[in-house]
Amino acid sequence: MRLHSMKRNTAITFLLTGAFFLVLYLWKEDYAVHVTNRHHVHERKKASQNRPPTTRSSYVYSWSSCHQNASAANITGFTSLPGHIQAFLYHRHCRHFPMLLDVPDKCGGADKSSEVFLLLVIKSSPENHDRREVLRKTWANERLHNGVWIRRIFILGTAGAGFEKQRLSKLLELEHSEHNDILQWDFLDAPYNLTLKQILFLEWMERNCPQTRFLLNGDDDVFANTDNMVEYLQSLKDNNGSKHLFAGHLAENEGPIRNPKSKYYVPVQLHESESYPPFCRGGGYLLSGYTAMVIYKMSKSITILPMDDVYMAMCLAKAGLTPVYHMGIKNLGMYIPSKNIDAHDPCYYKDVLVVHRFLPPQLYLMWHRIHDPNLKC
Ligand SMILES: *[C@@H]1O[C@H](CO)[C@@H](O)[C@H](O)[C@H]1NC(C)=O
Ligand SMILES: *[C@@H]1O[C@H](CO)[C@@H](O)[C@H](O)[C@H]1NC(C)=O
Ligand SMILES: *[C@@H]1O[C@H](CO)[C@@H](O)[C@H](O)[C@H]1NC(C)=O
Ligand SMILES: *[C@@H]1O[C@H](CO)[C@@H](O)[C@H](O)[C@H]1NC(C)=O
């Protein structure tokens, strides 16, 4: 009898425990779904709060994602191309993606955007948090310099998959709410999507900052002496941003790299001609607001090429404009004459405009060293 009742009690306990876990499990499932939904609603709500006034442009805020062009697979030799080039060809026609994070008032509104003298447009990718943090504290700090405004934005796509993608989005949301400096679109942030990123930025600029005087278009791993840059741009006598300017590290007589092993491989299926127009190497270049808008207009009728720096030059060429060489822009790094000289001697960096490739701690240190009032060169 006793044994029987104990058995029954145990059975009931088991049943109850089972039911409890089942409820917990279902609740968790429900919770997970709920959280994801809330996350989406939150993003959408945020996006609509940030919706720019639609009176000036017919911009559709939330483009549905672009579908791949299945016929790309018919291109001769398609199957023998590397995966990222196939991915590029499938999506070559895509120019609109939903915006995830926006800063429509970065320039104080389209009409007031001429008050921004230098807009720093920095290509970054979601995982480069450390680089963004150090740039915010150094050359990309938003400030008034020599009486004019410097403003900053980072331009990004998305990265990772699943939880990793969610974590990176959350990170960017946090950074954005603190610093108000992130433009993010819902496309894969990959090297062969850099031209797409550039075009999306120019479209954004036409809507939000069309009269900005000058732009520095650069990567998040360059050292840019933005103080010098402002002073150089102010010294241009007949250019207040409403005339052509495109200056950087000029590359001439170059063509597509046909070596399939290269990171920059461009097969004939992407670009048939063996030559490129003269272009300024990516990394960093300076342009006027006028030129940026001309490039955007031209881009509408030029097929996308993955190399964004070459693509910008193609747009310039179509408008009959040319880029120029600026000796202060060193996108292949500095030439230091002797091994016995410290390659990080601040005296070499005081007078340049842009130098390619710095790690965050080097950048932080260099920015402080060139501003040291006791620096003697
Ligand atoms: C190309 O691809 C499409 C879609 O995959 C297919 O329907 C078509 O028959 C192929 N051939 C040509 C010449 O377009
Ligand atoms: C799709 O790809 C084919 C082959 O390259 C091309 O002829 C066609 O114009 C593309 N379609 C779109 C919408 O870009
Ligand atoms: C560019 O982004 C689109 C949208 O996310 C993606 O489908 C495509 O694969 C990307 N292209 C490359 C070359 O990674
Ligand atoms: C810029 O300079 C041009 C003359 O070169 C002038 O017509 C224009 O009004 C100026 N723009 C601004 C915003 O000062």
Would you list the domain boundaries of the chain?
Answer: 70-365
Contact 126, 156 (CB under 8 A): yes
Q: Which pLDDT score, from 0 to 100, does residue 343 have?
A: 76
Phi-psi map region of 48: left, alpha, beta (phi>0 left; psi -120 to 50 alpha)? alpha
DSSP H or E segment with residue 121:
strand 116-123
CA-closest residue to ligand 2 atom 2: 72
One pLDDT digit (tens) per residue for the chain, 377 residues: 444 544 555 444 444 444 434 333 333 333 222 222 333 333 333 333 344 433 333 344 555 678 999 999 999 999 999 999 999 999 999 999 999 999 999 999 999 999 999 999 999 999 999 999 999 999 999 999 999 999 999 999 999 999 999 999 999 999 999 999 999 999 999 999 999 999 999 999 999 999 999 999 999 999 999 999 999 999 998 999 999 999 999 999 999 999 999 999 999 999 999 999 999 999 999 999 999 999 999 999 999 999 999 999 999 999 999 999 988 888 777 766 666 677 788 988 888 889 988 999 999 999 999 999 999 98
Q: Which pLDDT score, from 0 to 100, does residue 63 have?
A: 58
pLDDT tens for 310-323 read 999 999 999 999 99
Closest listed ligand to the CA of 76: 2
Token pair recorded at residue 324: 């120029």
**Binding site membership of 74 for ligand 1 (Cβ less than 6 Å):** yes
Atom of ligand 3 nearest to the CA of 85: 13
Q: Which pLDDT score, from 0 to 100, does residue 200 have?
A: 98
| Proportion of the chain in helix, strand, coil states, percent, rounded to 5 | 45, 15, 40
Sign of CA dihedral 268, 269, 272, 275: negative
- What is the best residue among 93, 96, 303 to mutate for testing ligand 2's pocket, by most ligand atoms within 8 Å of CB? 93
In single-letter form, the type of residue at position 50 comes to N
Q: Which pLDDT score, from 0 to 100, does residue 9 have?
A: 53
Q: Which CATH class is domain 70-365?
A: alpha beta
Atom of ligand 4 nearest to the CA of 242: 1
What is the spatial distance between Cα 304 and Cα 284, in angstroms, rounded to a whole number?
A: 20
Ligand 3 surroundings by CB, under 6 angstroms: 84, 87-88, 91, 187-188, 190, 192-193
Kindly give the distance from the C-alpha atom of residue 301 to the centroid of ligand 2, in angstroms, as a whole number.
Answer: 14
